[in-house]
Every structure is written in structure tokens, then in C-alpha cells.
Structure 1
Amino acid sequence: MKRILVTGSNGLLGQKLTDLSLADPEIELIATSTGPDRHPARAGYIYEELDVLDKVRIEELVAKYRPDAIIHTAAMTNVDACENDHEKCYALNVESVKYFVEVCEKNDIQLVHLSTDFIFDGEDGPYTEEAEPNPLSYYGQTKLEAEQLIKESNCRWAILRTIIVYGIVSDMSRSNIVLWAKAALEKGEPINVVNDQWRMPTLAEDLAECCLLAVKNNARGVFNASGKDLMSIIEIVQRVADYWNLDKSLIRPISADTLNQAAKRPKKTGFILDKTIRVLGYQPHSFEEGIAIMEKQLLERNA
């Protein structure tokens, strides 16, 4: 039996971790997030409100529940918002990590931390775990700084780097590229989509499974944890249109340079997954398999 404390449990990844934990008799889950619990189950696990910047509260919860592992999913991930509010971004993406590192060191708890492809500049993707980071955005800088904090610590740690997470939560409170494209195209709305950036989108269930594999294997080190299909952003949207037989003529290709976004994005990321597959037994779905899982969930939700 593993007792796992998850931060950010109201988010997409956090809710999928709750789903998987409920289905696994070997896991005892303490789900934590800001505000009331958003997961529909409301039973079979413990929920506690937690602000990840409240060091005293973090220590209280760890003393109360004595988790074997903490999976730290909470972060500020809106890349442009991070660029425009350095203070908030640094607090959530670096300061909070310091608190979890300290509490994990003190109590011999494994720390599983989520990181991102945005620590890279996109000039040489796809990347191995050993590739040299060079973030282009403040978001990427803070995620890299958090990684470095963890690597220099004395706790048992695993860092999982991921890319564009997609999936659905029961109350549909979280959007992502797949849901956005599907909704717009179903309404017949033209959408502008960049054609000069490449990514490997990650099904939320796959990433949640990888987090739990890291705990069960007491993994140590950096692991790439994304989907397995590398494609341009516009191809992601085109494949969404193909799956649901939507009008691809509504998809308008544009260059990323025309968007005037606050934060610069890497051109081509993507990950080489060999290590994670070999060491953790990670088995990500293809993009179409991921969409099929989402469609099944949408049909069940609307039934």
C-alpha cells in the first residue's frame, strides 16, 4: 500500500490521478487543491484544501497523513500569464517547490514533480532526458529552476517532463487544444492555428499512469512523459477534425510570429521516450487512441 499526497488535484492531471487511485487497491490517496473538491466521486480518498504557498499547512498535512510520496502537479502553466506576472509565476513554480523539497527531505518522502518541454528552445527536438535546456520564456525559466532545486536536494525525487496535456474532466471545467478545436469546428467557426511549431500531445490518463509508475518503482531521476506522436500544432487540430468528421477548411494556417504572444514558444520540442518505456514500463496511447478515450468519456457523460 502506497499513501500518496497529490497537489493540484482539481486540475486535469490531478483528477485523472484520483480516477486511477480509486481503481487501484494498493493506493491510498490524499488529494489536495485550492477551493472545494471538484472530483465527482467524493469518496474512497481524502480531500484537503491546500494553498501550495502555505508552508505551515504543507507541514501540517504531511505530519497528519505521513505520505510515502508527494506528486506535485500544482503550478502556474499559462505561459503568457507567467510572462506578464513574474512574481506570481515564481512563487507558484519555484517557491512552492522549495517547500515540498524541504518537507520531503525532512520526512523521507519521495517527490514526483511535473516539468515541461518549455525548458528547451525548440532548436533540436525531440529531446532526451540529458539534452541541454535553454528556456525561451519566463515560465520555462521557472520550471527549469524548480528542476535544479530538486536535483540539488537530498530527497528521493523523480521529475516527469511532459507536453500539451489533453483530456476531459467530468464538469468540463478544463479546456485544452482538442476540446477547443472540436468545439469551434462543430460551431462552424474558422480558427487560426500555427503551422510552424511541433509537439507531442499527452493524454492526461497516460501522464497520470506515469506518475503512479514513478511512485511504484520508487523512480529516481528525470523521465520524459509525453504522447508518442510528433506533429505540428495544425496537424493536431486537423487530426481532431478528421476524427470527428469536421470541416478542415475552417482551419487557417498562420505563423507563430503573427500572434504577438507575450511569451516566446519553442519551435519543435517532442521527447524521446525510450528511457521511460524501459525503466517505468510507460505505454502511451497514440493520438487517435487518446481521442477515442475522450470520445467514450464524452458519450458516457452525455448519456
Structure 2
Amino acid sequence: MIKVVITGSNGLLGQSLLGLLLKEKERYKIYGFSRGKNRSGRDDFSYISIDITKEGDLKENLLEIKPDFIINTAAMTQVDDCETNKEACDLLNVTVVRWLVEISKEINAQLVHISTDFIFDGKQGNYKETDKPNPLSYYGLSKLKSEEVLINSKINYTILRTILVYGKVFDMSRNNIVLWVRKMLTEEKEITIVNDQFRAPTYVEDLAMACKISIDKKAEGIYNISSSQLLSVYEIAQEIAEVFQLDKNLIKPISTSTLNQTAPRPEKTGFDLSKTNRDLEFYPKSFKEDLQLFKETLI
């Protein structure tokens, strides 16, 4: 049995991962770490209510379980909140990762960690794993610092960089772009969307699958996980309208400068997926294809 601890098991990726790994109960023994009650709607795994920003609690639980893999999906990802509350951002996004690395070393676990396109400045786009990071926001900086903690450690690690994750799970604490656009357009409300930021959104089921492949292959190093096509956020909203057969005319383009956001965003990200294709034998689809699959799960 492969023992796997998922931190942030109540989150979008956490719940998706539970669903995927628990299809093979004879292969994986799963432990979910999250704050408060178990929100996954499942009771066929070991749930531990824990605040992972308390080092003692984190260490005690992990030393007792001695997992083979820790998948760290917990993070502070609200970009503007990270800018205004740097201390909380550093604690969850960097310090906790440092603790996880130390514990992993002690119990000989592999750490799978989720990172972001926001480590880049967005001047180039279509980033390779080897391109030089230059974060514009404190969130991006915190995730880059967490990557450096892993890269400079002596443990086995996997970093999965991803972009604009969307999907739906049993009990959602946060919205995402697809659900929000769909809801607004279904209610026939007009929305404004930036047309000068470019992303390749990631279906959460793809990211969960990449985590599973990382475990099964014991893949090490950095990998890019996103859909295969770069689109403006405005085009993303247009495709959502199209797939869900909603009124595109309700979507109005605006420029980033009119938003007055606290933290700067990279203009153009997107990933080169050739290493992911080659080493993980994983071939992400276009946003539209993923969206169609996602739509089928909602029916």
C-alpha cells in the first residue's frame, strides 16, 4: 500500500485528488489534512482536522503516519490578499513547505508541491520549466521561494506548476472563473473581462491526474500542467459562453489598467508542455475540449 497524505484535502484540488486516488483503494491508503470538518462528502479515507501552520501538530501527525508521499495542495492563492497580508502568505506558502521538507527528510517521503505561472513576469509567455522566474506579485514571490526550498533540499520532490485552475467538487469554499462566468451569464448579467491578460486554464481533474502520475512514476523535478492553448481571459469567457450555450454579448472586454488591482498580474503566461508530454506521458487538451468534459460532469 502506498501511503499518501494530501494537505488541503477540503480544497478544489484536494477533493479531486481524493476522488481519483480512492478509485484504487487496494493501492493507496489516503490521509486528508484540512482545517475544520471534512467537506469532501466522503468517509472512505482517514481525515485529520489540522491547522498545518502549527508546526508541532503537523510534525506529530506526519511522523505517526509516515507517508510515502505528501501532496501539498494547501496554499494562500488569493493574489491581492497575499499582497496585503505578507505574513500569512509567507507562513502557509513558504514556512509550511520548509517544515514539510524537514519532515519528509526524516521519514523519507517524496513531496509533491503545487506551484504557479505567477512566478513569471509574463513578458515572454509559453514558459519552459527552465525559464528564469521573475515574479511581479508577493504571491508569485512566495511560490518561487517555496520552489527554492524544495530545489535546495536533499529530498525527492516534484513541483507541478499550473495556471488558473477550475472545476467543481462536493463542497466548494471558493469560486473559479468557469463557474463564475457560467453563473453570471445564466442569470443574464453583464460581465466585464480583461482582454489583455493571457492564460492557459487548467481543469482540476488534469492537475489531480498529474499528481497521481507523479506518484506512480516517482517523477522528480519540475513539470508544467495546464491546457495546451494560450487565450486571453476575454476569449476564455467567450469559450465558456459557447460551450454552455449562453449569451456571449453579455461579456464586455476591458483592459487590466481599469481594474485597479492591488497586486500586479503577469500579462502573458502559458506553458510549454513538451517535458510533461515526454516524461510524464501526459498530454493535456485544449481549454475547449476540457470544458466540454467538465460540462458533462455537471449534467
Normalising by structure 2, report the TM-score.
Answer: 0.97
Measured in 1, the distance between the counterparts of 2:283 and 2:27 equals 20
Aligned position for 2:123:
123
Measured in 2, the distance between the counterparts of 1:248 and 1:297 equals 22
How many pairs does the alignment contain?
298
Aligned position for 2:252:
252
Measured in 2, the distance between the counterparts of 1:54 and 1:285 equals 39
Deviation (angstroms), 1:14? 0.3
Q: For 1:172-218, what per-residue CA distance to the aligned partner results, in whole angstroms no more than 9, with x for missing partners? A: 44310000000001111110100001001000000001011111111
Measured in 1, the distance between the counterparts of 2:94 and 2:174 equals 24
Deviation (angstroms), 1:122? 0.2
Q: For 1:64-91, what per-residue CA distance to the aligned partner results, in whole angstroms no more than 9, with x for missing partners? A: 2110010001000000010111111111
- Between stretches 168-177 and 216-225, larger displacement belongs to 168-177
Q: For 1:210-242, what per-residue CA distance to the aligned partner results, in whole angstroms no more than 9, with x for missing partners? A: 011111111111111111121110000000001
3-state SS of 1:23 partner:
helix
Aligned position for 1:3:
3
Aligned position for 1:176:
176
State the identity as a percent: 46
Aligned position for 2:41:
40
1:261-272 mapped onto 2 (5 Å cutoff) = 261-272=261-272
Measured in 1, the distance between the counterparts of 2:277 and 2:75 equals 26
Deviation (angstroms), 1:41? 1.8
Measured in 1, the distance between the counterparts of 2:43 and 2:296 equals 22
The answer for unaligned runs of 5 or more in structure 1 is none
3-state SS of 2:270 partner:
coil
Aligned position for 2:12:
12
Q: For 1:7-64, what per-residue CA distance to the aligned partner results, in whole angstroms no more than 9, with x for missing partners? A: 0010000000000011123221111111111111222x11111212111111211222
Deviation (angstroms), 1:289? 2.7
Measured in 1, the distance between the counterparts of 2:296 and 2:70 equals 30
Residues 63, 103 of structure 2: 8 Å contact kept: no
Measured in 2, the distance between the counterparts of 1:187 and 1:62 equals 46
Correspondence 1:141 to 2:141: yes
Match for 1:122: what amino acid?
Answer: G
Match for 1:131: what amino acid?
Answer: D
Residues 7, 14 of structure 2: 8 Å contact kept: yes
3-state SS of 1:159 partner:
strand
Aligned position for 1:208:
208
Measured in 1, the distance between the counterparts of 2:85 and 2:98 equals 20
Normalising by structure 1, report the TM-score.
Answer: 0.96
Deviation (angstroms), 1:132? 0.3
* RMSD over aligned Cα atoms: 1.1
Aligned position for 1:80:
80
- Between stretches 251-260 and 280-289, larger displacement belongs to 280-289
Aligned position for 1:296:
296
3-state SS of 1:51 partner:
coil
Q: For 1:127-183, what per-residue CA distance to the aligned partner results, in whole angstroms no more than 9, with x for missing partners? A: 000000000000001000111111111111111100000000123443100000000
Residues 206, 283 of structure 1: 8 Å contact kept: no
Aligned position for 1:167:
167
3-state SS of 2:111 partner:
strand
Residues 71, 111 of structure 1: 8 Å contact kept: yes
Measured in 2, the distance between the counterparts of 1:225 and 1:273 equals 7
Measured in 2, the distance between the counterparts of 1:8 and 1:139 equals 18
Measured in 1, the distance between the counterparts of 2:285 and 2:207 equals 10
Match for 1:246: what amino acid?
Answer: L
Correspondence 1:188 to 2:188: yes
- Between stretches 25-34 and 156-165, larger displacement belongs to 25-34
- Between stretches 21-30 and 133-142, larger displacement belongs to 21-30
Aligned position for 2:243:
243
Aligned position for 1:22:
22
1:52-131 mapped onto 2 (5 Å cutoff) = 52-131=52-131
Match for 1:113: what amino acid?
Answer: H
3-state SS of 1:16 partner:
helix
Measured in 1, the distance between the counterparts of 2:22 and 2:285 equals 21
3-state SS of 1:114 partner:
strand
